[in-house]
């Protein structure tokens, strides 16, 4: 098997219904706004509490207040009536410095940068804030991480977004510095031929394949900003990445997946955004099409990988983006954008209906919502909107700021 059946559940039989989707988005927004605490945090969900050694409020973009504030910003831009909490970011940031979710670090998902992004998005000309954000970005460049959570590629997503929005050269310069760090540390394994980064994230040194910590996640941001890099880089990045995926792929009939990393004793075949098939699809679906054997091979791999996400079904872990059903649903939305085939949109919408049921059941079971961007309901609300407006689909806090 290319996936673990015990990690998945049977897809709902409920048909796509836009009115149900819209009602759930409004319900999530209402729950988030009613549950706001005086210190501009939200009650920590029991499942998130299990993931962090620190007891108390969470502040990061990944599973804390900053991510929820950012999600509300995005929903506001989509026309939903929400409270603007961007002015509270300074307090959230100071709270993070005093009692960080994990540790005080500069990165995007669990560090300073992700907390500051909602503020600079609404204050792009604030000089002091810009300097602080730039310092955080600079601090990621020399880290031995080479991934999204805390490292260079996460920083590069933020820098590229700010450059595209403002045209200010210092954001471009930081993106290019991050790209140089990635390219300088992208090493070919002489035995297998794979091109991999060694990421020292959360302690262990590993060579990952997936969207969060691995080769596809890094290739994604390099290719998104390839117009800022020297001529010819796109072909190099595509050639190395597709070769690596082709060497390491696990295939059966018309399905494809990848293990967590290269370590032979870690042979999990996950189907999530963070690790495995779904994230490989979202990371590589926007790869520029060039006239090359690599482009044709990538199209085939993505089709097989998307099919695996569908065959595996919704994730037991819930409705969230990082390792849940909506994150897997984004794989279908990205394939719909790439191919225009309605089958992918239909599948995304079926996962949306299932994720709504998961969210509602979890709220009843735990007696509260999950007020986070990457692990909870705030991210789900954005996914549901994207299922109604698939041309806008992009993973929030990464491909969308």
- From the annotation, which residues make up the binding site for Zn(2+)? 274, 322-323
Question: For residues 279 and 212, is the Cβ–Cβ distance under 8 A?
Answer: yes
State the Cα–Cα distance between residues 60 and 311, nearest whole angstrom: 33
State the Cα–Cα distance between residues 113 and 132, nearest whole angstrom: 9
Measured at the CA of 384, the angle between CA 372 and CA 363, to 5 degrees, comes to 50
* Run of H or E residues at 315: none
Write the DSSP assignment of 176-228 as a string of letters: HHHHHHHHHT-EE-TTT--EE--EE-SS-EE-B-STTTSHHHHHHHHHHTGGG
DSSP 206: E
Binding site listing = 274, 322-323
Tell me whether residue 280 is exposed, middle or buried, using C-beta atoms within 10 angstroms of its C-beta: 0 to 12, 13 to 18, 19 or more: buried
State the Cα–Cα distance between residues 139 and 49, nearest whole angstrom: 28
State the Cα–Cα distance between residues 61 and 270, nearest whole angstrom: 24
Write the DSSP assignment of 299-333 as a string of letters: HHHHHHHHHHHHHH-SBTT-S-TTTSHHHHHHHHH
- Residue 133 CB neighbour total at 10 angstroms: 25
Give how far the C-alpha of residue 255 lies from the chain's centroid of Cα atoms, to the nearest Å. Answer: 23
């Amino acid at each position: 098997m290319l996936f673990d059946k015990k990690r998945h559940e049977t897809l709902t039989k409920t048909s796509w219904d836009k009115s149900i989707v819209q009602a759930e988005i409004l319900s999530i927004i209402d729950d988030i706004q009613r549950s706001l605490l005086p210190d501009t945090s939200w009650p920590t969900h029991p499942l998130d509490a299990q993931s962090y050694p620190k007891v108390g409020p969470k502040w990061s973009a990944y599973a804390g207040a900053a991510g929820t504030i950012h999600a509300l910003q995005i929903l506001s831009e989509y026309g939903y009536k929400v409270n603007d909490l961007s002015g509270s970011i300074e307090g959230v940031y100071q709270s993070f410095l005093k009692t960080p979710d994990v540790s005080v670090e500069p990165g995007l998902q669990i560090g300073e940068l992700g907390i500051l992004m909602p503020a600079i998005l609404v204050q792009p000309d604030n000089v002091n804030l810009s300097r602080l954000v730039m310092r955080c970005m600079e601090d990621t460049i020399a880290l031995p991480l080479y991934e999204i959570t805390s490292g260079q590629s996460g920083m590069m997503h933020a820098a590229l977004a700010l450059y595209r929005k403002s045209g200010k050269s210092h954001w471009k310069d930081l993106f290019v510095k991050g790209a140089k760090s990635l390219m300088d540390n992208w090493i070919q394994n002489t035995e297998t031929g794979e091109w991999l980064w060694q990421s020292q994230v959360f302690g262990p040194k590993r060579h990952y394949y997936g969207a969060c910590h691995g080769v596809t996640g890094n290739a994604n941001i390099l290719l998104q900003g390839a117009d800022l890099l020297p001529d010819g880089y796109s072909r190099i990045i595509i050639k190395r990445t597709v070769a690596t995926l082709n060497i390491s792929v696990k295939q059966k009939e018309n399905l494809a997946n990848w293990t967590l990393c290269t370590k032979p004793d870690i042979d999990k075949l996950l189907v999530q955004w963070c690790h495995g098939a779904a994230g490989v699809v979202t990371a590589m679906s926007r790869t520029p099409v060039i006239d090359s054997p690599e482009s044709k091979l990538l199209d085939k791999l993505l089709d097989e990988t998307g099919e695996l996400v569908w065959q595996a079904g919704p994730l037991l872990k819930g409705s969230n983006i990082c390792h849940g059903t909506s994150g897997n649903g984004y794989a279908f939305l990205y394939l719909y954008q790439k191919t225009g085939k309605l089958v992918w949109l239909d599948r995304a919408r079926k996962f949306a209906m299932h994720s709504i049921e998961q969210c509602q059941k979890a709220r009843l079971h735990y007696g509260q919502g999950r007020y986070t961007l990457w692990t909870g309901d705030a991210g789900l609300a954005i996914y549901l909107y994207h299922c109604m407006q698939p041309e806008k689909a992009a993973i929030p806090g990464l491909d969308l700021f």
